[in-house]
Amino acid sequence: MSTQLQSRTQAASTNDAHRIQTSLQSLPPRKSPQRSRTAISAASVVTLLLACANCFADTQVGAPLPPAPDILYGDLFVAVQTAQIFPDQKTFVDSTPNTDPATIVQLYEAQKNQPGFSLLNFVNQYFTPPPDQSITPPAGQTLRQHIDWLWTGLTRTTTSAPDNSSLVPLPKPYVVPGGRFREGYYWDTYFTMLGLQESGHEDLVDDMLDNFAYMINTFGHIPNGNRTYYLSRSQPPFYSYMVEIAAQKEGNSVYQKYLPALRKEYAYWMQGASSTPRGQATRNVVVLRDGTVLNRYWDELDTPRDESYIEDVQTAQQSTGRPANEVYRDLRATAESGWDFSSRWFGDNQNLWTVRTTSIIPVDLNSLLFHLETTIVRACTVARDFGCVGQFAGYAARRAEGINRYLWNNKGYYGDYDWQLGKSRDNQTPAMMYPLMAGVAWPERAKKTAQTMQSVLLQQGGLATSTYNTGQQWDAPNGWAPLHWIAIQGLKQYGRSDLAQPVGTRFLADVENVYNTQQKLVEKYIVEGAGEGGGGGGEYPLQDGFGWTNGVTLMLLDMYGGGQ
């Protein structure tokens, strides 16, 4: 069981324990209990619910959380997701039970084998699906007016959550991406903050910084999102960039305020760095044979994701010759990367079932951690903690050396490294621009990387996410707002504003075209050709909203749109 789960399932009251045990004492044992987390027995559900102190009251900020849905409902969870009761697997895990889970499990076990039993009717009776997030904008808004109007519709305040909901309450308001994404997401938030600042919502920027500090202190890291089923992993660590943009507006005291959170986040990513033998990995840390310490994406669980259960099971079934738990771990690690899914992580560059994310040292992650190290240096300087300054300056210098040794592809760009195969990955993606944004790229290599990006990835509608069209959303022909912003910032940092401009203007034209024809902003766009509209592929339909597109678009309007 995860440490987070252990910490949030402590000591129930005697009354709750007695009530659950009485209601479930007649349940038969499961005949094949060997599959932990994928099919939890009724007896296991009883045990876990007995340990859930607040399972029968609204969950307040700071209170113990219920287990994730796959644990909370066991076999019922597996049945619902396998039957695909909802077109989107995320719908069920975001639903709210209408009574306590112990009763629901008891009723399911009692009824499931009766003639005429309908799982659909059972779910409709005992669960309330999440509310529709679609919103209708006023007519006649300009693109800028529309984004400013959207912020209110995408802002949530959830200091408590309904009984046994998967939602994790947060102390301050936050902005969600939109569509099926009903909660806050880690790396999305940085790009959303850019737009919030431009729109004059510095208060929301501060609120979300505080929420992330709260989660670091509560869970030891910033989760993928504020759902119980996301607690086993993080996402690309942009917190230092968030602190940086707040400090640019509010002054250096911001660095000192969030220094403890920055250091705790760093400790999370570096667990095992000092004890892992050379040539091996521990969690997010990889120690290469020469002693170089770099990082990878990781998830502490090796089971199907709650929100994509049936997709993960089917992927593992296609992956012949590999244990299913290895496939699940790699799928989850890819979810931590934010690039779920992309040929970038595939062994054969084409098929999801060849995913090997935990075997790959990603160029984006290590560039972000370099920025985290240098931000801690700056924060410790503000705090006049010069021992910390020296320590983290050393960490940053060693990481810079490792990035330029292992994450430089001799074909002319920064890229990922397969540490198990001992060779560079030949995948050209906009992730090559992260070392430029972080300022860790060598000048001559930055120049070559910019040339590769221009010749290989720059299309008529912006930057393609990869050179492969696999049907996955983080591949061609799609382009994503955050990757354009990263490229623009990296190019400008190394004196290539001339190349940053077509990257920005082409993508902005794509966004404007979709808005002018459909009056909405979307999660991703087709950038090949003249920009053919919203993108596609992946596990779910194209989503409207959309937080990070809104933020980046406002910045591009300021840079290249004449303020319109």
- Integer Cα distance of 279 and 266 in angstroms: 22
Mean pLDDT of 354-375: 99
pTM over 0.85: yes
Is 326 a catalytic site residue?
A: no
Q: Which of 31-45, 119-133, 165-179 has the lowest mean pLDDT?
A: 31-45
Q: Judge contact between 310 and 89, C-beta under 8 A.
A: yes
- The pLDDT tens digits of the residues spanning 248-263 come to 999 999 999 999 999 9
* Catalytic one of 244, 307, 330, 523: 523
**For strand 285-287 and strand 174-175, is the pairing parallel, antiparallel, or unpaired?**
unpaired
Mean pLDDT of 196-210: 98
Is 523 a catalytic site residue?
A: yes
**For strand 174-175 and strand 280-282, is the pairing parallel, antiparallel, or unpaired?**
unpaired
Confidence of residue 531 (pLDDT cuts 50, 70, 90): low
* 542: pLDDT strictly greater than 80: yes
Q: What is the pLDDT of residue 479?
A: 97
Give Cβ neighbours of residue 547 (< 8 Å, ≥ 6 apart): 154, 175, 176, 177, 178, 181, 185, 188, 189, 191, 192
* Catalytic one of 16, 183, 244, 340: 340
Q: Judge contact between 425 and 399, C-beta under 8 A.
A: no
Q: What is the pLDDT of residue 561?
A: 86
- Integer Cα distance of 538 and 521 in angstroms: 18
Q: What is the pLDDT of residue 57?
A: 57
Higher-confidence position of 35 and 413: 413
* 20: pLDDT strictly greater than 50: no
Range 354-380 burial, b when 16+ CB lie within 10 A, else e: bbbbbbbbbbbbbbbbbbbbbbbbbbb
DSSP lists the bridge partners of residue 479 as 525
Q: What is the mean pLDDT of the chain?
A: 91
Mean pLDDT of 327-347: 98
Q: What is the pLDDT of residue 8?
A: 34
Mean pLDDT of 516-539: 89
- The pLDDT tens digits of the residues spanning 474-485 come to 999 999 999 999
Higher-confidence position of 9 and 339: 339
**For strand 413-414 and strand 408-409, is the pairing parallel, antiparallel, or unpaired?**
antiparallel
- The pLDDT tens digits of the residues spanning 378-415 come to 999 999 999 999 999 999 999 999 999 999 999 999 99
* 55: pLDDT strictly greater than 80: no
Mean pLDDT of 157-164: 96
Q: What is the pLDDT of residue 330?
A: 98
* 25: pLDDT strictly greater than 50: no
Mean pLDDT of 321-326: 96
- Integer Cα distance of 125 and 76 in angstroms: 14
Q: Identify the residue whose tokens are 């998967």.
A: 166
What residue segments make up the domains of the chain, in order of their start?
A: 3-128, 144-269, 431-564
Percent of the chain exceeding pLDDT 90 equals 86
Q: Judge contact between 414 and 451, C-beta under 8 A.
A: no
* 10: pLDDT strictly greater than 70: no
